[in-house]
């Protein structure tokens, strides 16, 4: 790691950048605000859906009051129609880190997208993983004709680890990953190891919030109820009216796709809301699985959340 990075961080009074992660509805935003206020930092979003403009309620973006309390960055970066991937996120995140450190401000990352968190922690580089775009397009046409089942089965046959990391409903990622693995004749683990040989660009320390499963699910169901009161149906209708391709990342966002049948007159609101709650709970379970398989995460139990002092870790991380 470049010594200049260490010096820039030390000018903030700390030796590492905190990343607050964990499952949806676990309280990441409130903790990150409290941490940023205490450490004189600013918050950087680490959520693959909060980067889209127009999608605020369903992605649980910070409120205007929360943004007044602490500046937030890496939110509302692109329109839902704009392609945006992990490499795009890293480029943007690194630029923001440099800008904050130049002002002697500590970046405090917050979000539940495991791919983004892991990419920061490991220092992923994507130049070494070429992909055959013609192969990817052929798989996309196969999906449009025959569905995703056959493609997903071939992906799992090539790399069984993908079963835990990639849901078959995430058709865009399934297609992209299979095309990549067939291009380089390697597993995702092989690609990750090759892409992280230079290590992370900055020192990060990860913290994840852990709730008893029943209580987390209760919080998720309550969040969905609140989103309905705040107008998520209007956001879902706005997204539907954009006439985006069905495999567009924004169209696959949990919180919106479950409401589309109701907006199209194809299902009842009660059934769609029940499905939304179920999918949100399933997503939280996948997030927990992802983060529990990552290295070097400090887990914060819900019982100690209010009094937890993570500054002790980032002050002595190096």
Note if the pTM is more than 0.85: no
Q: Tell me: the pLDDT tens digits for 21-36?
A: 999 999 999 999 999 9
In this prediction, residue 295 carries a pLDDT of 86
Q: Judge contact between 178 and 149, C-beta under 8 A.
A: no
Identify the H or E element spanning 221.
helix 213-230
Helical H runs in 124-212? Answer: 133-146, 149-158, 162-165, 171-184, 188-195
With 60 as the cut, is the pLDDT of residue 318 above it?
Answer: no
Q: For 184-238, how does the pLDDT look when each residue is reduced to its tens digit (9 = 90+)? A: 766 777 776 666 677 899 999 999 999 999 999 999 999 999 999 999 999 999 9
What is the spatial distance between Cα 236 and Cα 224, in angstroms, rounded to a whole number?
Answer: 13
Domain 3-125+196-315, CATH number (from 3.40.50.720, 3.30.230.10, 3.40.50.300, 3.40.50.1000): 3.40.50.300
pLDDT the model gives residue 233? 98
Helix axes 149-158, 171-184, angle to 10 degrees: 40
Buried b / exposed e along 221-238 (16+ C-beta atoms within 10 A): bebbeebeeeebbebbee
Domain ranges of the chain: 3-125+196-315, 133-195
Look up tokens 């919106």; give the residue: 256
Q: Give residue-wise pLDDT tens across range 133-160.
A: 788 889 989 998 899 999 999 999 989 9
Burial of 264 (0-12, 13-18, 19+ CB in 10 A): exposed
């Amino acid at each position: 790691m470049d010594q200049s990075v260490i010096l820039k961080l030390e000018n903030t009074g700390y030796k590492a950048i905190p990343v607050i992660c964990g499952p949806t509805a676990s309280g990441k935003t409130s903790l990150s605000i409290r941490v940023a206020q205490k450490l004189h930092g600013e918050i950087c979003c680490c959520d693959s859906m909060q980067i889209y403009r127009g999608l605020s309620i369903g992605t649980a973006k910070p409120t205007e009051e929360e943004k007044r309390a602490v500046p937030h960055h890496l939110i509302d970066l692109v329109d839902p129609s704009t392609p945006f991937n992990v490499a795009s996120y890293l480029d943007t995140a690194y630029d923001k880190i440099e800008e904050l450190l130049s002002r002697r401000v500590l970046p405090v990352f917050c979000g539940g997208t495991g791919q983004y968190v892991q990419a920061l922690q490991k220092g992923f580089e994507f130049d070494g993983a070429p992909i055959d775009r013609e192969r990817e397009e052929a798989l996309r046409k196969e999906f449009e004709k025959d569905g995703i089942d056959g493609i997903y089965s071939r992906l799992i046959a090539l790399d069984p680890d993908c079963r835990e990391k990639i849901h078959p409903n995430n058709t865009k990622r399934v297609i992209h990953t299979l095309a990549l693995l067939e291009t380089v004749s390697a597993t995702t683990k092989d690609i990750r190891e090759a892409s992280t040989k230079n290590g992370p660009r900055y020192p990060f320390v990860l913290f994840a919030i852990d709730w008893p499963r029943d209580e987390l699910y209760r919080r998720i169901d309550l969040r969905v109820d609140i989103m309905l009161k705040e107008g998520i149906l209007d956001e879902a209708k706005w997204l539907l009216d954009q006439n985006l391709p069905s495999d567009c990342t924004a169209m696959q966002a949990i919180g919106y796709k479950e409401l589309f049948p109701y907006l199209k007159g194809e299902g009842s609101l009660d059934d769609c809301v029940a499905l939304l709650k179920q999918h949100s709970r399933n997503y939280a379970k996948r997030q927990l699985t992802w983060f529990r398989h990552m290295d070097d995460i400090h887990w914060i139990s819900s019982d100690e959340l209010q009094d937890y002092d993570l500054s002790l870790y980032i002050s002595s991380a190096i």
